[in-house]
Chains A and B, each alone.
Chain A
Amino acid sequence: EVALVQSGPETKRSGESLRISCQTSGYIFSNYWIAWVRQVPGKGLEWMGVVYPDDSHTRYSPAFQGRVTVSADKFMKTAYLQWDSLEASDTAIYFCARRGVRADPDTGRYFQIGLDYWGQGTLVSVSS
C-alpha cells in the first residue's frame, strides 16, 4: 500500500532554517515525481515545486524559486522541503504528494496524471 508520512509540526522563529520530510513506502520511490504544496490556513492550495528522485531533477514555481529547496534521497525513499531563512509568511501547512502515472490502454505508453497520494501535511509556524 502506497503511503507518504510527513514529519511533525514545527515552531520556528524568523531567520531560522528548517527541513521537513516526507517518507514514502509501498512503491518504487525513484520512478515518481514528488510535489510539495502549500496551504495557508483557511486558504487554497499552492504548487511549490517537484523533485524526481531518480536523478534529483527539480522544477519550482517562480513564487517559491530561491526561497525553498526540494530534494530527495532515493536510498531513504524520502523527500525533503528546506528553508535557509524562514519568514513569518511561511506559516502554513505543507503537503507532499506523489505524481501518479497511468498507461494509455490504446498505445501502452505511460503518461503523467495528477497527485494521487498525499502526505498528512506538516504545520510550520513561524513567529517574528
Chain B
Amino acid sequence: DIQMTQSPSSLSASVGDRVTITCRASQSISSYLNWYQQKPGKAPKFVIYAASSLQSGVPSRFSGSGSGTDFTLTISSLQPEDFATYYCQQSYRTPYTFGQGTKLEIK
C-alpha cells in the first residue's frame, strides 16, 4: 500500500491567517492527490483533485500544489468555516489510501 503522511497532525491558527498543510506519499503518485475537509459529525467534503484543481463551489482561498511525493494544501486567509480536519488521499493505485488527517483549530 502507498502510505500517506500529513504534517502537522494539528494546527492552531487565527481568522485571516495563511496556513499550509503538507502531505507526503511513500512513493511517487504523479498528481493523483485529493484533499477533503471534514467537520465534526459530517461527511467529508471534496476540496481539491489532481493535486491543484479546485472542486466546483470551493472558495478560491483554497489551493493545492505538488507532484510526485510532496504536496501542499494552502488556505490563503482563514475563515471561521474553514476550521475542520483535512485529509489527503492518493488515487494513483488501489487501495486509495488517506493521510491521517490534520486538525485545524482556532487559536
Identify whether the interface residues of B are mostly helix, strand, loop, or mixed: loop
A-B pairs under 8 A by CB, number: 70
Inter-subunit contact B46/A100 (CB<8 Å):
yes
Binds B, one of A11-19, A41-49, A70-78: A41-49
Inter-subunit contact B95/A62 (CB<8 Å):
yes
Q: Is A114 an interface residue (CB 8 A)?
A: yes
Identify whether the interface residues of A are mostly helix, strand, loop, or mixed: strand
Inter-subunit contact B34/A47 (CB<8 Å):
no
**B49: contacting residue among A35, A50, A97, A100, CB under 8 A:** A100
Inter-subunit contact B43/A47 (CB<8 Å):
no
Q: How far is the CA of A35 from the CA of B94 in the complex (A)?
A: 11
Q: Assuming A111-B50, A114-B46, A115-B36, what are 9 further A-B pairs, CB within 8 angstroms?
A: A47-B89, A47-B95, A61-B1, A61-B94, A100-B46, A112-B91, A114-B91, A118-B45, A120-B43
Contact with A along B53-76 (1 / 0, CB 8 A): 101000000000000000000000
**Closest beta carbon of chain B to A118's beta carbon, Å:** 4
Inter-subunit contact A46/B98 (CB<8 Å):
yes
- B positions within 8 Å CB-CB of A: 1, 34, 36, 38, 43-46, 49-50, 53, 55, 87, 89, 91, 94-101
Inter-subunit contact A95/B44 (CB<8 Å):
yes
Q: Which residues of A contact B1 (CB under 8 A)?
A: 61-62
Inter-subunit contact A116/B46 (CB<8 Å):
yes
Q: Contacts A116-B55, A121-B43; is A45 near B94 (CB within 8 Å)?
A: no
Inter-subunit contact B101/A118 (CB<8 Å):
no
Inter-subunit contact B94/A59 (CB<8 Å):
yes
Q: Contacts A45-B87, A113-B50; is A118 near B95 (CB within 8 Å)?
A: no
Complex interface residues of chain A between 65 and 103 (CB less than 8 A to chain B)? 95, 97, 99-100, 102
